């Protein structure tokens, strides 16, 4: 038995409601994450010292990047949930695919959608796609952190049963003390990845296109796979047996892609004046 079970801080998942209109914390997490990411990217592209003469988007064009990535995250996240986790359910109920207000967004689908949006943006504005991926990768952990905190508030995606002193009994669960795995994911996949990539950016990573994007892929995937050992998978949708989960399976290719991007970026010539 645990020495201490922390009380779950019950927070209404609806931040504000006016008649049938309900503003939920989950929606706020998406909106704030996108806006803060947009603000950060605008500041970064305007900081000449980080680029060493590398071609990059203009601050004004970043407004369009926000739109491209937001649409990619929403459409990709929803389709990812449909295709990766429960295709048979939605095949029988196709109209529910459009009922996004009922929940059901997959991170890996949103990542694919955001990457496609960033690529389309790069083509339109004739800037290197890897540079745009680097910018988006630095901003992404902000939204990941906020999204995991929204998962905690809802509450959903809680952890496996445990006897650690910081275990919690989540409303709607079976009453067993569980890991607050949403917080683990928010800290590791969000804050730790953001800090690591920010340090790399300060040290000149933007002068090697693809380095930050590769670093994000590797760091996020390792953090997600680690956290999956503490997160309780849905036995029907996420548990693949033998300790393997769908989150682990979908994260593994990110390590391969990330390592390939890092290798590519390190083989390219840096911008004039940039570190070797």
Domain limits, the chain: 20-267
Instruction: Record the pTM.
Output: 0.88
Arithmetic mean of pLDDT, 40-45: 96
Confidence of residue 275 (pLDDT cuts 50, 70, 90): very low
- Which of the residue ranges 37-46, 80-89, 160-169 would you say has the lowest mean pLDDT? 80-89
Confidence of residue 273 (pLDDT cuts 50, 70, 90): very low
Residue 18 β-bridge partners: 21
For residues 190 and 147, give the distance between their C-alpha atoms in angstroms, rounded to a whole number: 9
Q: Is the pLDDT of residue 227 over 70?
A: yes
Q: Is the pLDDT of residue 246 over 70?
A: yes
pLDDT in tens, 96-118: 787 766 667 888 999 999 999 99
Cβ–Cβ < 8 Å for 175, 126: no
- Which of the residue ranges 100-109, 117-126, 205-214, 239-248 would you say has the lowest mean pLDDT? 100-109
Confidence of residue 272 (pLDDT cuts 50, 70, 90): very low
pLDDT value of residue 107: 86
pLDDT value of residue 270: 61
Confidence of residue 276 (pLDDT cuts 50, 70, 90): very low
215, two tokens: 């670093």
pLDDT value of residue 269: 62
For residues 36 and 74, give the distance between their C-alpha atoms in angstroms, rounded to a whole number: 17
Greater confidence, 211 or 275?
A: 211
Cβ–Cβ < 8 Å for 217, 261: yes
Q: How many percent of the chain have pLDDT more than 70?
A: 92
For residues 220 and 231, give the distance between their C-alpha atoms in angstroms, rounded to a whole number: 16
Cβ–Cβ < 8 Å for 153, 27: no
Greater confidence, 4 or 243?
A: 243
Q: What is the mean pLDDT of the chain?
A: 89
């Amino acid at each position: 038995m645990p020495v201490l079970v922390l009380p779950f801080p019950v927070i209404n998942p609806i931040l504000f409601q006016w008649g049938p209109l309900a503003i939920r914390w989950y929606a706020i997490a998406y909106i704030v994450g996108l806006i803060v990411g947009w603000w950060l990217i605008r500041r970064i592209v305007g900081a000449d010292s980080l680029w060493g003469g590398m071609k990059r988007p203009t601050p004004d064009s970043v407004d369009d990047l926000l739109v491209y990535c937001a649409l990619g995250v929403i459409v990709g996240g929803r389709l990812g949930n449909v295709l990766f986790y429960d295709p048979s359910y939605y095949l029988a109920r196709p109209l529910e695919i459009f009922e996004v207000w009922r929940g059901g967004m997959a991170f890996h689908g949103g990542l694919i959608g955001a990457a496609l949006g960033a690529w389309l943006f790069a083509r339109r504005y004739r800037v290197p796609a890897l540079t745009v991926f680097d910018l988006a990768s630095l901003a992404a952990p902000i939204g990941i952190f906020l999204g995991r905190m929204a998962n905690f508030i809802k509450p959903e995606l809680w952890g496996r049963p445990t006897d650690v002193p910081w275990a919690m009994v989540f409303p709607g669960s079976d009453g067993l003390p569980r890991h607050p795995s949403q917080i683990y994911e928010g800290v590791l996949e969000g804050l730790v990845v953001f800090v690591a990539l920010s340090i790399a950016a300060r040290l000149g990573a933007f002068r090697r296109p693809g380095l930050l994007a590769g670093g994000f892929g590797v760091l996020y995937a390792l953090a997600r796979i680690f956290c999956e050992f503490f997160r309780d998978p849905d036995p029907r949708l996420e548990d693949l047996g033998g300790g393997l989960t769908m989150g682990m399976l979908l994260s593994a290719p990110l390590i391969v892609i990330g390592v390939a991007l890092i290798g590519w970026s390190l083989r390219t010539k840096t911008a004039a004046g940039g570190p070797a």
